[in-house]
Amino acid sequence: MHIFYNPDHAAHQGKLEMYRGRMVPCHEVPQRQDQVAAALQARALGPLQKPNHFDDALLQRIHSPRYLQFLQTAWQQWIALDPANVALDAIPSVWPTRSFRTDIEPDNFAARMGLYSFDAGTPLTAGTWQAARSGADCALSAAAHIAQGARAAFALTRPPGHHAGADFFGGYCFLNNAALAAQYLRDSGLERVAVLDVDYHHGNGTQAIFYERSDVFFASIHGDPRTEYPFFLGHADEQGQAAGRGFNLNVPLPRGSDYARWSEALDFALKAIATYGAQALVVSLGVDTFACDPISGFALQSEDYLRMGERIAHAGLPAVLVFEGGYAVEAVGLNVANVLQAFA
């Protein structure tokens, strides 16, 4: 399997995040990618390759220009407020909501940051743009291999991406790697692409990006948004709108769901993808469905990820797999490697 790893991922390393009303050490840490890389190498699942660099114009196929401009310059703006800020992460604190205006970019930095974010759990650091930009190259490199005829490719990168929308970050995500990969496959000539999100948390950013489109089918299996982050999207009645009506599938499950229940949802999602007639698959591969994950609530065991990989492979579609969540750091490498080994 072609494995593209992010050589710049450790440039993004947040200190603290707001979690359930308290400031705590960040759950999304560089060791996540390091653990996965070590596990993949130990099993010889494929050499780790640096990604190719892709033009910034490809990012604008998914993300708005003013959002990208903000991400590229946010750290410099933060330091310009006070040189002492170099020792601190920038964390959003104020947001527009409901009837507030979002068409005018504020002059105030805190307001600008709020305009482009949706939570206080996603610190922006000196190396955030560098890490996220290289991560996008990983996803695009993996998609390029599929477009050239490969069966599978894995984008091993952090920060993750599926919570990032066209013009907002949150949930540890800044650029939507899965959406970028899906768009690349579409631009390469495939008429129908599916995104399957198996992360514990709903891929609200990916859904929002493709919600009015019929050329990318989005299916997500996740914790029920009535109790689970990101809370305000991911309900079963969200089926797409306008041209996208019928091309969005959410399968929310209650806390405590084990693999038996989860696998039924996977079968349901894969059948919908087959009915859709997808020509390629992008998998948002989060392994925070693991029973010991500190910020999630399903009960999957490490051996279940072998069965997950087999079942996704049986769909018979060329696939880009993109690393998303998974915060039980010591087990994250084992669980990802199980998926990829079984898939291969």
**Exposed (0-12), middle (13-18) or buried (19+): which is 221, by Cβ within 10 Å?**
buried
Q: Is residue 86 part of a domain?
A: no
Q: How many domains does the chain have?
A: 1
pLDDT digits (tens, 9 = 90+) for 90-148: 999 999 999 999 999 999 999 999 999 999 999 999 999 999 999 999 999 999 999 99
Q: Is residue 332 part of a domain?
A: yes
Of the candidates 216, 219, 220, 129, which has an alpha carbon nearest to the alpha carbon of residue 181? 216
Per-residue pLDDT, 81: 96
Q: Is residue 226 part of a domain?
A: yes
First to last CA, the chain: 7
Query: Percent of the chain scored above 90 by pLDDT?
Result: 99
Q: Are strands 16-19 and 22-25 parallel, antiparallel or unpaired?
A: antiparallel
Per-residue pLDDT, 31: 98
Of the candidates 212, 210, 72, which has an alpha carbon nearest to the alpha carbon of residue 220? 210
Q: Is residue 97 part of a domain?
A: no
Q: Compute the distance between CA of residue 74 and CA of residue 95 in angstroms, rounded to an integer.
A: 16
pLDDT digits (tens, 9 = 90+) for 237-288: 999 999 999 999 999 999 999 999 999 999 999 999 999 999 999 999 999 9
Q: Is residue 79 part of a domain?
A: no
Please count the other Cβ atoms lying within 10 Å of the Cβ belonging to residue 301: 13
Q: Is residue 89 part of a domain?
A: no
Per-residue pLDDT, 33: 98
CATH of the domain at 305: 3.40.800.20
What backbone phi and psi angles, to 5 degrees, belong to 217?
Answer: -90, 130
Q: Which residues are catalytic?
A: 163
Q: Is residue 104 part of a domain?
A: no
Per-residue pLDDT, 285: 98
Q: Give me the domain span that covers residue 255.
A: 2-52+127-343
Using pLDDT thresholds of 50, 70 and 90, give the confidence band for residue 56: very high
Mapped onto helix, strand or coil, the DSSP state of residue 18 is strand
* H helix runs in the chain, sequence order: 31-42, 65-81, 109-115, 128-147, 177-187, 204-210, 259-276, 304-313, 329-343
Per-residue pLDDT, 16: 96
115: left (phi over 0), alpha (psi -120 to 50) or beta: alpha
Q: Compute the distance between CA of residue 262 and CA of residue 72 in angstroms, rounded to an integer.
A: 39
* Global confidence as pTM: 0.97
pLDDT digits (tens, 9 = 90+) for 189-225: 999 999 999 999 999 999 999 999 999 999 999 999 9
Per-residue pLDDT, 274: 98
The DSSP code for 69 is: H
Q: Is residue 300 part of a domain?
A: yes
Of the candidates 201, 207, 143, 176, which has an alpha carbon nearest to the alpha carbon of residue 67? 176
Per-chain mean pLDDT for the chain: 98
Average pLDDT over residues 307-323: 98
pLDDT digits (tens, 9 = 90+) for 279-314: 999 999 999 999 999 999 999 999 999 999 999 999
pLDDT digits (tens, 9 = 90+) for 1-54: 999 999 999 999 999 999 988 999 999 999 999 999 999 999 999 999 999 999
